Structure 1
Amino acid sequence: MFFIYFLIGRSQCRYALGMEDGTIPDSDITASSAWSDSTEAKHGRYVTGEGDGAWCPAGAVFPSASEYLQVDLRSLHFLALVGTQGRHADGHGREFARSYRLRYSRDGRTWITWKDRWGQEVVSGNENTYDVVLKDLGPPIVARYVRFYPLADRVMSVCLRVELYGCLWNDGLLVYTAPVGHVMHLSGSPVYLNDSTYDGSVESGVQFGGLGQLFDGVLGGNDFTETKELRVWPGYDYLGWSREALGQGSVDIEFHFEKTRSFHTMQVHSNNRHTQGVRVFSKVDCQFKPGLLLPWSSPPLSLAVPLEDLKDPSSRPISLPLGGRPAQILRCQFAFADRWMLISEISFYSGTFRVILQCSQCFPQLYTVANTHMHFITFMFFSGADFDAVTPGAGLPVAKDDSSNTAILIGCLVGIILLLLTVIAVILWRQYWKKILGKVMEEARLSQLFHPSLHSSIPPFATSSLLPLPPGCGMDLEKGLPPTQEEPPPYPDAPPYPALSPPFPASVPHYAEADIVSLQGVSGNNTYAVPALTSTSPTAADCTPLPELPRHCLVFKEKLGEGQFGEVHLCEIESPQELPNLEFPFNVRKGRPLLVAVKILRPDASKNARNDFLKEGKILSRLKDPNIIRLLGVCVSSDPLCMVTEYMESGDLNQYLSHRVLLDKTGPTHNTPTISYPALIAMASQIASGMKFLSSLNFVHRDLATRNCLRPIKIADFGMSRNLYAGDYYRIQGRAVLPIRWMAWECILMGKFTTASDVWAFGVTLWEMLSVCQEQPYSNLTDEQVIDNAGEFFRDHGRQVYLSRPDVCPQGLYDLMLSCWNRDCKLRPSFAHIHSFLTEDAMNMV
């Protein structure tokens, strides 16, 4: 059914179509030209592993802008968004397209330049070679062929890797023909009721050969002068005609479909602002042509719309029964009932049994009764529109077919009512569990507000000082949850460091000025630390409810690790697209399973651990960045509590680098996999980008290391739970495990974690990478000596030990590392500065 498929396209039709995984064959990827064999069209795919992986045109794209990469999808597809990357070339490539144009074709002959809703053709592209930049297509594209035209503002080299996201346009509409819209003048102000996104041609006041706003999935509101899109003109959501300007009593619209179909119902969303001369059409006369070369069927179908209940000025959907007549071309005449007629959307119920089955597999609860008028329910479920705006209520007009059977109509109405009740029950059920979860979150927050004596969950080694501290480093800003009774007292045998001085006054600036909530986490450590949320904080207001996933959808694969409070499992979701509230990654192919990491809290965990678990989930749900692991959903309605996150099949960065050697200028001399200095810097830049995002929200990671960076680069927190990395953590009297070799001196001595301490850990992580993870940081020191070294940083007598410069590391980059390890935390660079340095300067040092 066209209507169901179209609305799915607006919300769920965002599957990767196969550039990355090879579903689209090389033969269907062509280009105007290429540099060489290694940069020809077939390399224009997303690349998440090794390899050159880019299409690069042979000719200059400035000023002609005539070079293109073309993808043939073999059939019509609905395209909701596109993504681009630059050329990686194992870190050597620096080519990417800062902008591009899109052209598409449904038949391979007529090419259309895509424009956004404001008429702009140029699409913003990439700023580096590795980040994926996704562009939502508004309006969406219906096409078989798509071309990417890279642009430049000067003579420069550009390269592209692309992916397309959408789904099949199954037996859909090809084009519609209609009169152009008119301009209404209200109080001297123009209201433009034209079809601004129509992609066909216009001649003699008629638009033909394209698709536009009548099928873009955007419903107009009650007041047609108000729009749902920002920065557009009044009347944008409607296509409207004046009877006087048109010079006839009806609006004729013709629809051309790809194949012959059996039409059961047409639904027209119409405005009825009768106080301004706008009314729903009074009747519709439709003709049907079963094939392009066949004559029009007779007799035409005449459908009357009763007007006695149209005093309500609300816009509404008008359902028109078409009697199951077959047609490939459908022509309808909509009769004026007043001076103006405004239509926002037209949709058809004409699907085959196969189409209905596909949708019923996704949402079986919506198909438990007769599906004669299934388009009403599907519309409400996918559009996200206000319930009253789309639900046919009492008094709304339903067109009458003189030849129709009264019993059938009654049955249809009963079916609609039952379906409405089903949807209402589902919505109420979901709202109930959202309230329960919200209540749990609120209780967790209140427990912080009413415990003024809370102290850090990682107590300091010492509590006072005889020596002055650097500004901003003297105050422990963390306030965690109170320890449970079963926990031993804080570090009973603290090393004999000099006592620390009292904290600085509150006026002294700090990296993180707000108190932060420390979380125990499933792994037994603090995963992320975040400024305490208040009801008035902007970050709290931006929080969205956690997506609840059905537990039965998780299929256990293997155990990744365990910690003090729970376990981390590798699981599989067999059909992720069937879960409407799952934020599944865009690179998942339809029909393919999705691998996920599942953090599971032990059922016997303490109340504090449970509260921490919910807080951690709330924190992770806010972290949406290309280089941060994403929370996909939670299972918190029953025990055990679960968090479901992305899982990168390529593993972590530590394991990846430790099996490689550095590629020197003489090239590879053995069979061991190699990696180049530019590739290392590119990955470090991505880590810095992710940390820049975290620091912009005042989030503190507390365990940044190569073991917690997955490939492609996404910062995670699984390292502590894996036995593989047990040697990277120092256990304090059976209480806590700390990654002391990555921790700043103030973390070790005072338990103080800030963005500045994350910068210290980044310096150690960068040292790991340039040493290709061949040894631990401070491998020549014992754990106790590492703690002693933190004391030397505190005393600042010049006896502290720094990590040595790796062989491949240029002095300029080593100076950056040393600045990350500055004793004065206020003199350490910001992640914004580090990211800028790595993207602009470090790549050219070797």
Structure 2
Amino acid sequence: MMLLLLLVFQAKTNAQVDPAHCRYPLGMEDGRIKDHDITASSQWYETTGPQFGRLNREEGDGAWCPAGLLEPAVKQYLQIDLGQLTFLTVVGTQGRYAQNLGNEFARMYRLNYSHDGLLWRSWKNRLGNQTVKANDNAYTSRINDLHPPIITRYLRVIPVSQVSPTVCMRVELYGCPWSDGLISYSSPEGQQMLPPWFPFASLNDSTYDGVNEGRKMSGGLGQLTDGVIGQDDFLVTRQYLMWQGYDYVGWKNGSLSSDYVEMEFVFDKQRNFTSMKVHSNNMFHRGVKIFSSVSCSFKPHLLANWEAEPVEFHTVLDDRNPSARYVTVPLGSRTAKALRCRFHFADVWMMFSEISFLSADTVIPTQITPVVTSGFSNDESFMPTTHNTDKLHTITCPFCSPGIQTPLATSPTTIDLPDNRHTPVLIGCLVTIILLLVVIIFLILWCQYVCKVLEKAPRRILEEVTVRLSSSSDTVILQTPPVPPRVSQMDPPYERIFLLDPQYQDPAALRNKLPELSQSAEASACGGGYAEPDVTQCTPHQCFQNSVPHYAETDIVSLQGVTGSNMYAVPALTVDSLTRKDISVAEFPRQRLFFREKLGEGQFGEVHLCEAEGLPEFLGEGAPLPDRDGRPVLVAVKQLRADATNNARNDFLKEIKIMSRLNDPNIIQLLCVCVSSDPLCMVTEYMENGDLNMFLSQREMESNLTQANNIPSVSLSDLLHMSVQISSGMRYLASLNFVHRDLATRNCLLDRRLTIKIADFGMSRNLYSSDYYRIQGRAVLPIRWMAWESILLGKFTMASDVWAFGVTLWEIFTLCKEQPYSLLSDEQVIENTGEFFRNQGRQIFLFPPPLCPPSLFELMMRCWDRDIADRPTFEGLYQALRPHVVQ
């Protein structure tokens, strides 16, 4: 039965793609894209052919160079066959350097793409511009994000010039496989929402690359497959300088010829569909709801008729929560190459931002019929040939070594023998086949057993990936080093460490899992200076228990507060003293708070953006409020829900008391509270310029080009000034023995003067949900910013905040264009922390940002020191950074 199931085995894939994580090199540089897959319109010489157009490579004469001068009217191109449909997010280019012998490069280029190599389309960005800025010299690479990304198999890179120079190019492409398989969708054209009954919003599919005739879009892909998820408020966009409603495609009830929106989806091959996921807006107070029901019909082939029995699904409408959400539509494992779905309205408007499919390729087993040949010589192998009555299926074991193929007889074998002389040979062959089947079954069972063991095993070694920075490029290069020698039997056994494991609360049990951990912790406790008792007299076990400072909260679940914001870890004695004091901020009349939008939420509370009427007069002179010219002040309001538990209520009051102690120019301040009646609220500052991550990601480094074109930019001095402010705020928290535990650019807010205030509610915001790793549904952790001891031990100290500060500096000097460790999955990031602990030289560090001075990157590396005691303090960091800022 198991072997029979393997005949149709195919790994199912979730086609939802996150452009922020889909940034893997596709193989130009490392050779996975073969020479015959790279062609060109022309070449100057054989040594400048298209096969030499690989980023950071110097083979041949160093690059691809088209023949002749690049005339503005002549279209030359480098064409790359990716071998499969690919979600393309980034393009990197270089000129011809040829070890300082060449100086040809392209200053601009365009992109054409095709699914089949026949029909070509031109890429354009969200503003309609087809030209991409390329290089300024022959050796430095330039990395360009594609907004929107491209779904394609074939790509042409077309250099562009206003004059007639000689150009040469080297290229790398970044993305990931487009496992969804969707090659086009058709739908009615998106419509406009108009006043006075509704706010203005343009809900058209502005990046659709198909045909639009008679207000019907067909034959292309667009915003519904670009990986950008719309927000709860459809008027707010994730894209910079885009119009209201840009992230959604929407239709109005009654504006179409039917009471539903009909969409057709065409795929690259016949697939077995499990489900469809539709991200829908549900802002019902503006007349927008998810669809009430959907019916999907299936077509096995493009020329076939639609099957008579559709799949129907009725949604459960929600009139309490206005949040946008994914609606999963089960498709009953139906097989088809095309789908037609009719989405029925539930209100005036229906809006989608993403549609994806969960499916598996339909596998049709290949039938092979064996026959025994009339005779064999001593050196001949037994090779079955075709016979009409015998069928043998060849399958591949997905759990075993590559290349192991198993013959599986699916029907009784009747073989006509021309002569009884060959009966012994036939019997021997049959016995061999039976023995082979037994061996394969044993291997499959053994592989399954090994897989189960590996799930428990500690130390699943990462694919050994090292990150280096090319001397002539700012491109990150991934290399796979030789396989290390097998670990000897003397090496200690490792077991995978699972977060929230009970062993984290029991150091003795934890030492059994990682023997070196106890030695390291004992050394840290007895010599690191972090334990309060007289550690010189303690036993090793006592030293280990005392190694956690008294202000560290080892219960990792408590990282997230009741409103979804992180909770500061504070000295135990300070918390006790706070509970005996009255709240030091005033009670604000809650009727003066006017809701504007929801910023985030947690298990028992929410964070709202509100206007506070009369707040400057209420707080008096000296209040840390921006100048609003008499307008209501924007504030962030954390509110406890009515269904909160007593523990959540106590934690909320504790958070108020902790926040009331903070008073620093670079820390978000608690302004007032509403605790005289339910729901309990705390009111904190909020900056109109938003968070630092969003601010920097929408800017470029200051240059003549940005100034001439009025492009939002920042200077190196601005970045250093931001770094100093963050270190100053963290220095203040450290002086109170407060541990932030979630320091990152998303938790740093800016005012108009670029003054930074460190906040604490980035964890609650859906915008940054991909920055957090959910553990067993109970806690979310910013693992890409966390020190190894925080992930492995649940140990949060000021030293772990220093680690996060180093990652925050890295974000700043990459202009937040990339997530830390973006080439590693969450699980690989956790594995990497184990390498930091083992300290055997296999840990992966963040690469130096191109904008970062070397001395500053050395400071970051000190923040990521494996030994806690060797990391700098925030006072030291402040003093090191401050001289670099122009006063």
Please, what TM-score do these two structures have when normalized by structure 1?
A: 0.47
Q: Higher relative contact order by CA 8 Å / sep ≥ 6: 1 or 2?
A: 1
